[in-house]
Chain A
Amino acid sequence: QVQLQESGPGLVKPSQTLSLTCTVSGGSISSGGSYWSWIRQHPGKGLEWIGYIYYSGSTYYNPSLKSRVTISVDTSKNQFSLKLSSVTAADTAVYYCATRAGSGFFDYWGQGTLVTVSS
């Protein structure tokens, strides 16, 4: 069974870049079939899809965040990463990495990591 674990700073200053990494175990990013995804949840709110990447490097981003988001993959480390630039307090959220099955639902999730944007 695939397991996912997010890692990265829990505190980011406004205007800086948020950087998170998701380490995958129990499966290979290179095996294909899944899209490696980032989803966030503002405190007490619902879920917002950020984007995902296929092992080949193809990326898809939420249009509302597209200008600030970069998702990349490192197949040698079985990891994928999220960078969100020019953050503000509105980017404070729990960030989840997840696998998106080929058809479109999210079948495996990391435990999530809270990122707070504050000076």
Chain B
Amino acid sequence: EIVMTQSPATLSVSPGERATLSCRASQSISSNLAWYQQKPGQAPRLLIYGASTRATGIPARFSGSGSGTEFTLTIGSLQSEDFAVYYCQQYNNWPPETFGQGTKVEIK
């Protein structure tokens, strides 16, 4: 099973600033990585797949990069609606698909 490790656990950012979230895989997963956003009381929402492709309707301030074992989600100019928990998920080796433990982006 591939283990996904996200850092940091919590990221404190001021509105309008940039946020950079990291996700590391325990072995190479090529570009088979997705990012999700989850707000309190809501289901996760797909943001990015293929490590860098934005899902339908996702604003351009969300960008993903990386391949192999190291991945980054960047949120440029944080808006109030962006404060949430973000999860990465690998789908290179399955089953099982595995998720990271999440990074909470909170208001500084």
Q: Which residues from chain B sit less than 8 Å from chain A, CB to CB?
A: 1, 32, 34, 36, 42-46, 49-50, 55, 87, 89, 91-92, 94-102
Contact = CB atoms under 8 A, between A and B. Distances in A.
Interface of A: 46-49, 51, 60-64, 96, 98, 100-101, 103-107, 109-112
B44 A109 contact: yes
Contact of B55 (A60, A96, A107): A107
Given A103-B49, A107-B55, A109-B45, A60 B94 contact: yes
23 contacts: A47-B87, A47-B89, A47-B99, A48-B99, A49-B95, A49-B96, A49-B97, A49-B98, A51-B95, A60-B95, A61-B95, A62-B95, A63-B1, A64-B96, A101-B49, A103-B32, A103-B49, A103-B50, A103-B91, A104-B32, A104-B97, A106-B34, A109-B43
Contacts of A47: 36, 44, 87, 89, 99
Contacts of B94: 60, 104
Contacts of B45: 109
